[in-house]
Structure 1
């Protein structure tokens, strides 16, 4: 069986075929500059075990290392920002879980290699927490989570403010899918003026919840959920 297929049954039931690394890199090279922007947000709506997201994170972390490796706190801050810019949805729970594990392993390998015994448990906890929120077991077609208590998918937007503070705003995923000309992309695209290219008024999605900024190393324990 192909290494890009887990089972024929999963292909039949879910169309599950994993994209090989050479194709992943060739596709990402089409938007190379964006993959090397630390804060550029990416969403993979059928992320599988994370082949695309893994390579995006690798590229971002190489940029973080090239700029901030001499300062541990700066590296931690911007590595967390890089992780927080990556989002995924998968209809299969085991895929979502494996995607989170693989993304964490990419971060942890780079972090440990650079700072060895100086690494911080709090930094790892922040990364695990963000990945738990950003990689969702859900259906990108219905825009809802999977399981008995299915709910509309909500994604957090993370942004650095005032140096070491991380700001979180939660957005309902379906709010980001209004028709062209009726919205300003908020979570997954750069900010734009609240008018279209034709000068028409557009809809700006509002967060469903907004949180006060917290230190980036305190994120894992900052919210009552």
Structure 2
């Protein structure tokens, strides 16, 4: 048989081991509870992070979709702009060709106008020279006509003056002539055509110097036209 004190000693050892194990178990349970709390908090944090990540992923997806749509729109816009640019370039080339043709046409018209202006200028110069010649000729003729008119006027005035002097002197001449000579002088019709110098000469050579009637008659017969 096993002694009692040995049994008691073993029982005491077992009891101590049991208490130690129980203490360790309680400590382990406490750690498990702590781990559960940590795990719960970690899960909560992960869920929060996961929610935020999902939200950010959704935002990124939306942004990517919008960017893709903008890229497509940009491609469409740039394609349309490129097409418009090509059309504008073609139109510009056509307009440039049209403008060149128009410029060439205008240059041709300008040359024609210059030629016509040169011809008109030459013709105008010829007409101007002709007008100058005609004007000079007309002036010459007018001057000649004026000179002729002046000469006629001078002759007419001289004739009128001579007529007045002749008329006056003929009256005085008659007053000195005998009656028979006056009658012969009047019937010959020379009272208006006998020059003044002839009458004065007749008076000085005959009547005024007291010569005879025959000398006076001879002088009168010489001055009769």
Higher RCO structure (Cα 8 Å, ≥6 apart): 1
TM-score relative to the length of structure 1 = 0.22
TM-score relative to the length of structure 2 = 0.22
Name whichever structure is richer in strand by fraction. Answer: 1
Name whichever structure is richer in helix by fraction. Answer: 2
